Amino acid sequence: MPWNRLLCPLDRLPTGALPAWYAHLQDQANGLSTAQLAILGGRLAATPGLAFLAGYQAALRALWPEAPASLGAFCVTERRSVRPADMTTRFHEGRLSGCKDFVTGGSEADWFLVAARSEPECEPVRITLCSVARDTAGVALEHLPPLPIAPDIPHARLLLDGAEAQALPGDGWDDYAKPFRTLEDVHVLLALSAWLYGVSLECRWPQGLRLKLAGVLAAGSEVARLDPREAATHLLLGGVFAQFESLQAELDFALNGAGEWAALWRRDRGLLKIAGSARQKRLEQAEAAVMNALLL
């Protein structure tokens, strides 16, 4: 899909059941890169929450290109921790057992990527990432109350009791869990910036602000093409976030006349601050790594 389609006026998809909404998005996204999928999803979303969902799903496909076309979820958190040593979910002899406490969109997902410990007893922690389908025996979901931010996106607890699963190749932590944090950051930023760009067209914001939002989309799309494990990628992603943050005063002023769009954004703008401290820590580590490399 060329940029002139992504940047032109588009009619938003009607809201409704999330699987149907995402299927309609997929119908229009054939052949798109994951960055373009995130942008298109943001443009077609009626709410920031739906834009977030599109970015999150695009990040899953950047991590795992073989992902099914339906909604999926990435499952790491246990008891509010994402540390491998704190995990109790286990993958043994092809089966998963345990509990993931906070699964984004979990109650509507058809499949899950689950980080689980797989090391033999008394050996160092090893994480395996496994794929498991919702309709597998031993998989159950417990719905969680809506959050104040993006209440239209549900969350769930994933309960696993000897569910048959498929291990993905490679190290579950270094090859999947760590890169996904970066992939999610950039794709969600693209989707939410695209949502704001759509509002800017409808509300006829000043051309300068529209162009600045388009610049965030262009810069973020380039970062989405890079290896999320490279230090330079984190520096460039930090630059795109800084570029977006520099627009906040202009956005706040423009939103004063945006009615319902303004209310939705003020409710959900915190989506971009989720895991912000962890992102800042990764940025600082990446900057140190790049600076140290120059000294060698």
227-251: pLDDT as tens digits? 999 999 999 999 999 999 999 999 9
CA distances in angstroms from 70 to 20, 94, 108, 149, 217, listed in the order given: 9, 23, 10, 24, 25
Range of the domain at 110: 72-167
Task: Note whether 136 and 194 are same-domain residues.
Answer: no
What does pTM read for this prediction?
0.96
Q: Please, are residues 59 and 99 in contact by the beta-carbon 8 Å criterion?
A: no
Please give the pLDDT value at position 294. 67
Point out the domain boundary residue: 120, 140, 167. Answer: 167
pLDDT at 296: 59
**Radius of gyration over alpha carbons of the chain, in Å?**
19
- 134 and 234 in a single domain? The answer is no
Q: Average pLDDT for residues 253-278, to the nearest whole number? A: 92
Are residues 140 and 232 both part of a single domain?
A: no
CATH number, residue 130: 2.40.110.10
Residues 179 and 59 in one domain: yes
Same domain flag for 147 and 288: no
Task: Give yes or no for residue 253 having a pLDDT over 60.
Answer: yes
Cα 179 to Cα 268: distance, rounded to the nearest angstrom: 25
Q: CA distances (Å), 85 to each of 47, 123, 188, 195, 205, in order? A: 37, 12, 28, 38, 49
Query: pLDDT band for position 260 (50/70/90)?
Result: very high
Contact indicator for 90, 230 with CB cutoff of 8 Å: no
> Which of 123, 150, 167 corresponds to the end of one domain?
167
Do 13 and 84 belong to one domain?
no
For residue range 44-85, what is the model confidence (pLDDT) as tens digits? 999 999 999 999 999 999 999 999 999 999 999 999 899 999
Q: Is 165 helix (H, G, I), strand (E, B) or coil?
A: coil
Point out which residues pair with 90 in neighbouring strands: 97, 117
* Residue 267 burial (C-beta neighbours within 10 Å; 0-12, 13-18, 19+): middle
